[in-house]
């Protein structure tokens, strides 16, 4: 069963996983509208190790990145959904614009992002310097939260 961790709790748990020789995978994002592309990316990420940490942007972080109309679901709802995903072992929040500080503290064995972020993966330098691996995994074609939101918002409904 997945568990929600504060930053301090996550760092303590990371030490425990390390002492158990568990390979820790880390990924992050807004996960504003959960869709099949997210699920498949998380499943692929989880297959790379023993534990998958999903760090979610806080509401204020999402607003800074995506604009004042986002997120569609608040951080508590997004975290609650993520906790029910089979591929996810740990969920935490970060309020910074990037998770670099959190990644540097956790130092996962593997850092994963979708290929749309291949040009800039926050925390790459820290993970690689510690001997970890960084992957930009291919995206599931046809699934983009921004595109889904635009389609929903542009639909005309009969009166």
pLDDT (tens digit, 9 = 90+) per residue, 66-125?
999 899 999 999 999 999 999 999 999 999 999 999 999 999 999 999 888 778 899 999
Q: What pLDDT, on the 0 to 100 scale, is given for residue 154?
A: 81
Between CA 82 and CA 89, with CA 83 as vertex, the angle to 5 degrees is 105
Cα 147 to Cα 21: distance, rounded to the nearest angstrom: 40
Tokens of 43: 């499943």
Which is higher by pLDDT, 91 or 155? 91
Closest C-alpha to 142, from 27, 31, 35 = 35
Q: Provide CB contacts within 8 A for 5, sequence distance 6+.
A: 13, 90, 91, 92
CB 30 within 8 A of CB 77: no
- Average pLDDT, integer, range 2-25: 97
Position 133 confidence tier, pLDDT thresholds 50, 70, 90:
very high
CB 35 within 8 A of CB 69: no
Between CA 19 and CA 29, with CA 24 as vertex, the angle to 5 degrees is 145
Position 149 confidence tier, pLDDT thresholds 50, 70, 90:
confident
CATH topology of domain 3-134: Rossmann fold (3.40.50)
* pLDDT of residue 141 exceeding 90: no
End-to-end distance of the chain based on CA atoms, in angstroms?
44
Average pLDDT value over all residues in the chain = 93
Instruction: Give DSSP secondary structure letters for 116-158.
Output: GGTT--TTHHHHHHTT-EEEEEPPPTT--HHHHHHHHHH----
Cα 71 to Cα 59: distance, rounded to the nearest angstrom: 6
């Amino acid at each position: 069963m997945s568990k929600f961790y504060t930053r301090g709790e996550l760092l303590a748990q990371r030490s425990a996983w390390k002492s158990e020789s568990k390979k820790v995978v880390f990924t992050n994002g807004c996960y504003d509208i959960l869709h099949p592309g997210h699920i498949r990316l998380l499943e692929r990420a989880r297959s790379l190790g023993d534990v998958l940490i999903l760090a979610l942007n806080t509401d204020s972080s999402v607003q800074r990145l995506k604009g004042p109309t986002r997120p569609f679901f608040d951080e508590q709802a997004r975290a609650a959904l993520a906790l029910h995903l089979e591929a996810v072992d740990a969920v935490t929040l970060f309020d910074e614009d990037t998770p670099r500080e959190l990644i540097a503290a956790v130092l996962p064995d593997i850092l994963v992002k979708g290929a749309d972020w291949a040009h800039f993966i926050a925390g790459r330098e820290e993970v690689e310097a510690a001997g970890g691996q960084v992957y930009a995994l291919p995206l599931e074609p046809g699934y983009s939260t921004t595109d889904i939101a635009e389609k929903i918002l542009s639909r005309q409904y009969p009166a």
